[in-house]
A and B are shown apart, each in its own frame.
Chain A
Amino acid sequence: MTYWRARSNTLVLLACATLAGAVAARDPAWLDIAIAIVINALVALSVGLTFGQAGILSAAQGSFAAIGAYTTAILTVRLGWSPWLALPVAIALPAGLGHGLARLVTRLAPLAVALATLTLSAIIEIVLRSWDNLTGGYVGLAGIPSVFAGQPIAFYGLAVGMLALAVLAYENLMLSRFGRGLTTIRGDRARAIADGIAVPGLLSAAFALAAAMAGAGGWLYAHYFSYLSPGSLGTELSISVLLMMVVGGARHILGPVAGAVILGVLAQLLPAQEVQGLFYGGALIVILLVARNGLLGLVRREGTL
């Protein structure tokens, strides 16, 4: 029991997601939106992990999701693999890339990391859209096999399950000494080194975990929408999830998830696409001015995750 009490975030998530699923199940359009929100939440969680806990702002999580999505799309469409076999690869490949990348970016100032990852995201998008033979270029890949085709509720369950696993992993990480190490690194890196924490290794591991989460989100996207183009996941998603993280609260584990829900629902209620940017930009500014720790930061005590 105490195991689960310490991991209350996972339980809260499962409860809320089940409730939401029951409500959304009445209307296929709402179920579709719910699935999209869960996918976004998974990618937003990955930004929350690196920035909220380690202080590294990655604007490339959308690209890791894209890599996961393209990996599974290529394996299932061009090589005929089963989506379930492609899943571990879709998670491992971004994780490996994230691990390698971390060495490059984690020693930079936060602003520089953000810009370097943004630039990297743009470069990855260009590579994905130019490698015609592999990725289908601009036209993308259509006909990706669906998972649980025709049963959106089952897919929703799968997506929530994967999100819950990610949250559980995140909670376990923060409860362990590695999590405490990350918090120390964020606060005072010199102290962390003095404490004997292997800073580069730990940061690389955190980055890899985050990239893996994003890759999982990409896998879900590919097998739900069955169609992938260079613009589907990428720089635009990276920026959206950043916003979700800030709105929900970067330091709290469920913050990015809350942000994904809020922004996902509001996007449906806004009348026109043109004013969406006005709304998002304004929301970002207001949150930064008024509630820097996000909405979850207003609700929960300072210091709790």
Chain B
Amino acid sequence: MLKVTAMAVAAGLFASSASNAQSQAPIKVGAVLSLSGPAAVFGLPERDAIEAVVEEINRTGGVNGRKIELVLHDDKTDPSEAVRGVTQVTRDGVVAIVGPSTGSGILAAGPVAERLRVPLLAPAGTASITDKKNSFYPWVFRVAPSDQTDIHKILADIAKDGKRRIGVFYQEDAYGKVGLDYGQQIAKELGLQIVASVSAAYTATDLTAQATQLREAKPDAVFMQISISALGASFHKAARQVGLDVPLYGNAGLAQKSFLDAMGDSGNGVRVLSIGNLPYEPIDPETKLVTLLKARGKTPQGWGELVGSNGLMAIMAAIKAVKGDLSGPAMRDALETICDFPTYSRGKGCFSKEVHDGWGEDVLVITEVDRGRLKTRP
């Protein structure tokens, strides 16, 4: 009898000390982002924001009394490196991962996340990452608006201005091609007509021929499905030169300082979709993120920071929603229940079993180029 009681007491003490130990240990969160290579222009701001927010969370006491430990890995804009990154940070004991930064990285890492049972919070617009046909669908949660949402917002703005005939200029890659396909579907829904679509390779030396082809189709507006600044600026110049004098709209990939600098003053009036307007006209709660970034000596670059921080804040919300021990599968289940949780971007983030696309049009803004800055259009 005494032996049983002693053992029970010992077990109780052991259990409480174990849970105490667990409640002291930091929660590990992974981030597999493009810190080098072409996608670094988005990956680096994502990382900066995540680090700033983690520091702030730890400064104010952590989550559930525990600090957050960030495990970072560079996916080098390479899908196989992204897979390696996910494997490595999972081995280090993370409960969830923000990343990889690129669509192809997410598609490559999806099966691995499914096998290792750790959820990915994906900051990319590529549609197929949350396709229900993927066997890894339960493990991928999108934290940026999808490309479809982006294009719908732009085309709706064009329609609002009374324009009906649209020309599309797109880059020769997945982003461009798939964007064109969405554009065609969405244009039909909105009663717009795509009168011409012309593409160019990243390395095209001159775009006047493409601009001329678009001009001949007599559009009321031209929409650029471009994420490379040189291509966007070159097209803008070519359009002005050949007499394609219609409003130009750029997708979110062009909301970069490099694009604005390259166009110079001649770019005034070009409209660019953006996720929030962190660098030029931040509103609450974006302003809080600006403060955090500036405190670490970082200047807001564009929307990478917002997307990265949304991913981290979703993880925080999920941690609070988990009852019991934290693990990859528990986090995954919790992520499907969170909605309208605190973030640093405008708009509302919401996940459910059926919907793994967390954010919608309310986080997007149409901006207009004005003397090297992006002004939010009302």
Contacts and interface: CB of A to CB of B under 8 A. Distances in A.
A225 B128 contact: no
A285 B134 CA distance: 45
Given A138-B173, A227-B107, A143 B134 contact: yes
7 contacts: A29-B88, A137-B174, A143-B111, A227-B104, A229-B104, A232-B79, A272-B36
Contacts of B115: 149-150
A139 B79 contact: no
Contacts of B107: 139-140, 142, 227, 229
A142 B128 contact: yes
Nearest to A33: B84
Contacts of A149: 115
A249 to B, nearest CB: 26
Nearest to B35: A272
Of listed A32, A138, A146, residue having the most chain B CB within 10 A: A138
B111 A226 contact: yes
A15 to B, nearest CB: 27
Interface in B33-77: 36-37, 74, 76-77
Nearest to B87: A28
Nearest to A29: B88
Contacts of B77: 273
B36 A274 contact: yes
Contact of B108 (A139, A227, A274): A227
A149 B80 CA distance: 16
A273 B76 contact: yes
B195 interface: no
A20 to B, nearest CB: 17
B222 to A, nearest CB: 22
A36 interface: yes
B128 A273 contact: no
A225 B74 CA distance: 18
Contact of A28 (B37, B91, B173): B91
A305 B320 CA distance: 64
A32 B177 contact: no
Contacts of A142: 107-108, 110-111, 128, 134
A174 B96 CA distance: 53
Given A137-B174, A225-B80, A273-B76, 6 more contacts: A29-B84, A32-B84, A33-B84, A138-B177, A139-B107, A227-B79
Of listed B74, B76, B107, B177, residue having the most chain A CB within 10 A: B107
Interface in A18-74: 28-29, 32-33, 36
Interface in B135-156: 135
Given A32-B84, A272-B36, A229 B111 contact: no
A274 B38 CA distance: 9
B346 to A, nearest CB: 30
A225 B87 contact: no
B88 A137 contact: no
Interface residues of B, number: 27
B104 A140 contact: yes
Contact of A273 (B36, B84, B110, B177): B36
A29 B128 contact: no
Interface in A135-185: 137-140, 142-143, 146, 149-150
Contacts of A150: 115
B108 A32 contact: no
Given A139-B128, A150-B115, A272-B36, A225 B79 contact: yes
B59 to A, nearest CB: 30
Contacts of A139: 107, 126, 128, 174, 178
B217 to A, nearest CB: 22
A36 B80 contact: yes
Chain A to chain B: the 10 pairs with minimum beta-carbon distance, closest first? A138-B174, A273-B36, A227-B108, A273-B76, A273-B37, A272-B36, A142-B107, A138-B177, A29-B88, A226-B111
Nearest to B173: A138
Contact of B87 (A32, A36, A138): A32
Contacts of A143: 111, 134-135
B186 interface: no
A226 B77 CA distance: 18
Given A140-B104, A142-B110, A225 B83 contact: yes
Interface in B227-272: none
Contacts of A138: 173-174, 177-178
A154 to B, nearest CB: 15
Nearest to B36: A273
Of listed B37, B80, B178, residue having the most chain A CB within 10 A: B80
Nearest to B37: A273
Contacts of A225: 79-80, 83, 108
Contacts of A232: 79
Contacts of A226: 108, 111
Contacts of B126: 139
A3 to B, nearest CB: 38
A74 B74 CA distance: 31
Contacts of B108: 142, 225-227
Interface string B113-137: 0010000000000101000001100
Nearest to B175: A138
Nearest to B105: A227
B248 to A, nearest CB: 24
Contacts of B80: 36, 225
A213 B88 CA distance: 31
A274 B37 CA distance: 6
B207 to A, nearest CB: 19
A273 B173 CA distance: 21
Contacts of B173: 138
Contacts of B135: 143
